[in-house]
Amino acid sequence: MDSWRQPKINIHKPHKSPCGLFSFSPHQQSPTMKYVLAILSASVLSLAASPPSPASPPPYIKGCSLKKSDLDKCAVEQANYALPFVVKGDKERNVPKMNPLVLPLLELIQENKWRLALKNFHIYGLENITVSNVKVSKSNLKFTLNVDNLDMKSDYEMDGRLIFLNLEGSGPSFFKFVGGSYTFDAPLSSYKSKNGKNYFQYNKPTMEYTVKRVHLQFDNLLNKEFNNTGVSPNKILDDNWDAVMEDIDVPFKDVVTTVLQGLVSSVMDDIPEKSMFPE
């Protein structure tokens, strides 16, 4: 498990500047191990195609005055109001539809140990997210996303060692995250656009999360070392879901925070500072 802790990240697509979807800050490289994370998505990659050109603020975004004594409460209310509009997609701002969110290929590779490719990766349930615990200022944005059930389906290919199993297989896969709370904390920085207005840049967030249960299922999965024991490797993975999540902790967080940064940036790029924090 510790071999995930100091990965090197390679993204096999163009970077967006200054705050786009694929602007990773690489972790320190392990001298013996690294993982390669690739996210290939026509819809999500469109966010990284070119630098933003701020237009009018999204009509579903309502600002909150910094002078309000209940600023954070106002931010929670406005975020929950805006979220259904964002999940439905906003073509003008290159925000993809997220019911479901589709990633044509998501690949995680830990060199010399393990590879997992998830093709046609569909995430269901994002329309049921609620926002809580917002802490916002001109220099930082922290919030929690809560969702009772997230279902994920894809076609997978796996080969290598995950937790203590030496696995290989391909076919349909299914994941279910139950009772999840995901907290994101990101610095904000101000920049002046060519139109003379100040905008906020949403920088790469950190993420902490809790989840009550994760269900895992990989059809046609084989344990290469003990395939004739009669014990299903899927049952072992599902029974030890917390160990699996610990083993993939770093790449899982990088996937989520990278996609979130792109989505939030695509909305915030069109909101002038004075509209976000009106007097």
Domain ranges of the chain: 2-276
Beta-carbon contacts of residue 149 (< 8 Å; ≥ 6 apart): 125, 128, 176, 177, 178
pLDDT higher at 111 or 88? 88
pLDDT band at 39 (very low <50, low <70, confident <90, very high): low
Task: State the pLDDT at residue 37.
Answer: 52
| pLDDT, tens digit, 9 for 90 and up, residues 215-243 | 999 999 998 876 656 678 999 999 999 99
Closest Cα partner for 269 from 208, 202, 222, 211? 202
Going by pLDDT thresholds of 50, 70 and 90, the confidence category of residue 148 is very high
Per-residue pLDDT at 90 exceeds 90: no
Residue 46 has pLDDT above 80, yes or no: no
Q: Given phi > 0 = left and psi -120 to 50 = alpha, else beta, which region is 76?
A: alpha
- Pick one of 3.30.70.120, 1.10.287.70, 3.40.50.300, 3.15.10.30 as the CATH number of 2-276: 3.15.10.30
For 9, phi and psi rounded to 5 degrees? -110, 125
**pLDDT for residue 153:** 97
* Least confident stretch, 16-20, 84-88, 187-191: 16-20
CA distances from 266 to 17, 73, 89, 92, 114 (A): 12, 24, 11, 10, 33
Q: What is the pLDDT of residues 100-117, one digit of tens each?
A: 999 888 887 777 788 889
Mean pLDDT score, 86-103? 88
Q: How confident is the model at residue 119 (pLDDT cuts 50, 70, 90)?
A: very high
Residue 17 has a pLDDT of: 29
What is the rounded distance in angstroms from the CA atom of residue 25 to the CA atom of residue 5? 15
Query: What six digits make up the tokens of 184?
Result: 């994101």
Q: What is the DSSP letter of 76?
A: H
Indicate the pLDDT class of residue 23, thresholds 50, 70 and 90. Answer: very low
Q: What's the pLDDT at 252?
A: 84
pTM of the predicted structure, to 2 decimals: 0.80
Length of the chain as a residue count: 279
24 vs 156, which has greater pLDDT? Answer: 156
Looking at 123-164, list the stretches that DSSP marks H as alpha helix, in order from N- to C-terminal side.
none
Each residue's pLDDT tens digit, 164-214: 899 999 999 999 999 999 999 999 999 998 888 999 999 999 999 999 999
Confidence bin at 154 (pLDDT 50/70/90): very high
pLDDT for 242-279, tens place per residue?
Answer: 999 998 888 788 888 888 888 898 888 888 999 999 87
Does position 18 have pLDDT exceeding 70, yes or no? no
pLDDT score of 227:
61
pLDDT at 26: 31
